[in-house]
Amino acid sequence: MENIESKAVFSSEKRKISLVIPFYNEEEGIRNTFHEIEKHIGDSRYEWEIIAINDGSSDKTLEVLGDIAPSGYTISVVDLSRNFGKEAALSAGLCQATGDAIIPLDADLQDPPSLISDMIQKWEEGYDVVLAKRLDRTSDSVLKRYTAAAFYSVINKMSEVAIPENVGDFRLMDRRVVNVITSLPETRRFMKGLFAWAGFRTTTVEYVRPARAAGDTKFSGWKLWNLALEGVTSFSTIPLKIWSYIGFLVAIGAFGYGALIVIRTLIFGIDIPGYASLISILLFVSGLQMVGLGILGEYVGRIYMESKNRPPFIVRSVKSRQK
């Protein structure tokens, strides 16, 4: 009975919603982004907070963020000491957010703020996590669509934690969920995987992702490849196990081929030296060894980086304003 009463008191309080937005060289679209967001955060039942993270921008992003005049909400500009990458910037924003519910979204308006009210409604129904799932990827290039589909297929077959397909960082998370995420000790963070690993009661709202409002994407093909590699090595050891089986099969093949050569020599004698076949086999096996060492190196590299225990980001300053 005591628990029921305390919950009733809490539900009568005005709860806070935090929006977490990483910015990196986004000076062209910042004002438009805030203008669009302000259309959808006017619900007086909640307090509103925007955490804007400047991820070491080299343009005037920090200056423009400093000029934003908040209207009916609090804005905190978190300035990182350098560019640490989106995953680290998002982590910094989650650590800074004080809301009862936290919503990360992109600065380019491809995560539509119009979906915020639907997310909050699902949260009020009792869900701890509300995922924003893309209905299609028509705003992406053909190559990116196929590579994204391949990534989700591969990682969900390898990982023990299912990562929702076509779901990015745009989601609503209850304070309890964010407390779990920020308490995790990893310094190399694959946020989609960490969000999925945390679990909790989850539902989904669907949307069609619009084209980028301004500027260019900061994720090159190389960065996306490295992010995918980070995701696989963070949540699966299957690549290591696969090479154990490959090595076993190659060893069996080598033993069988060696036995065949011995038998042929005993029966027919030596007729052809076999230099070409020998070189081909050596190159093939050496290639397999190098690939295996490369995969092993990825995991050793992760251990090395984690063992340093460096923080994933450094905050240079935090400035908050409210109107």
Q: Note whether residue 228 is domain-resident.
A: no
Amino acid 223: pLDDT: 59
Distance of CA 279 to the CA centre of its chain: 43
Higher-confidence position of 128 and 321 = 128
Kindly report the average pLDDT of the chain as a whole number.
76
233 part of a folded domain:
no
Q: Is residue 226 part of a domain?
A: no
Residue 281 lies in a domain: yes
**73 within a domain of the structure (yes/no):** yes
Most confident of 129-143, 188-202, 235-249, 294-308: 188-202
The span from the CA of 116 to the CA of 156, in Å, is: 28
User: Residue 279: its pLDDT value, please?
Assistant: 65
- Partners of 216 in the β-ladder: none
Q: Do 187 and 206 reside in the same domain of the chain?
A: yes
Alpha helices in the chain (DSSP H): 2-11, 30-38, 61-67, 86-96, 116-124, 142-158, 175-183, 191-198, 221-235, 238-268, 275-308
**Mean of the pLDDT values across residues 269-288?**
66
More confident residue, 155 or 71: 71
Tokens, residue 39: 């259309």
Residue 211 CB contacts under 8 Å (≥ 6 apart), including other chains: 110, 139
Average pLDDT estimate for 125-144: 75
Q: Evaluate whether residue 225 is within a structural domain.
A: no
Task: Answer yes or no: do 175 and 288 share one domain.
Answer: no
CATH number at residue 56: 3.90.550.10
Helix or strand or coil: residue 270? Answer: coil
Question: Per the domain annotation, does 221 fall within a domain?
Answer: no
**Is residue 49 domain-shared with residue 145, that is, in the same domain?**
yes
Collapsing DSSP to helix, strand or coil, 197 comes out as helix
In the predicted model, what is the mean pLDDT of residues 46-67? 87
What lies within 8 Å, CB to CB, of 41 at 6+ separation is 17, 19, 48, 72, 73, 113, 116
Q: What 3-state DSSP class applies to 54?
A: strand
* 61 compared with 257, residue with greater pLDDT: 61
Residues 6+ apart with CB under 8 A from 70: 50, 321, 322, 323
Here the tokens at position 111 are 């995560």
Task: Say if residue 253 is in the same domain as residue 149.
Answer: no
Residue 158 and residue 198 share a domain: yes
* Residue range 74-113, pLDDT digits in tens: 888 899 988 888 888 888 899 888 888 999 988 888 888 8
Same domain, 140 and 176: yes
* SS3 per-residue string spanning 7-22: HHHHHCCCEEEEEEEE
CB 243 within 8 A of CB 292: yes
pLDDT band at 222 (very low <50, low <70, confident <90, very high): low
Q: What is residue 11's predicted lDDT score, i.e. its pLDDT?
A: 47
Distance CA 263, CA 282 (A): 21
pLDDT band at 2 (very low <50, low <70, confident <90, very high): very low
Query: Tell me: the pLDDT tens digits for 163-212?
Result: 777 787 888 999 989 998 888 888 777 777 788 888 888 888 888 876 65
Residue 276 has pLDDT above 70, yes or no: no
Average pLDDT on 223-245 reads: 66
| Lowest mean per-residue pLDDT among 28-32, 126-130, 272-276, 315-319 | 272-276
66 plus 130 within the same structural domain: yes
The reply to whether 289 and 316 lie within a common domain is no
Radius of gyration of the chain (CA): 26
The band of 4, judged by pLDDT with boundaries at 50, 70 and 90, is very low
Residue 96 lies in a domain: yes
Per the listing, tokens 């099969």 go with: 249
Predicted TM-score (pTM) of the model is: 0.68
pLDDT exceeds 60 at position 15:
yes
Which residues on neighbouring strands pair with residue 129, listed in sequence order? 173, 202
Looking at the fold, whether 302 and 317 belong to one and the same domain comes out as: no
- Domain match, 29 and 18 both: yes
Which residue is associated with the tokens 């609503």?
Answer: 172
Same domain, 155 and 296: no
- Who has greater pLDDT, 182 or 213? 182
> Across 158-172, 179-193, 255-269, 285-299, which has the greatest mean pLDDT?
179-193
Number of structural domains, the chain? 2
Range of the structural domain that residue 149 is part of: 2-216+310-322
Residue pLDDT, tens place only, 306-318 = 777 788 888 888 8
Mean pLDDT computed over 282-288: 72
pLDDT of residue 155: 66
Answer yes or no: do 255 and 291 share one domain.
Answer: yes
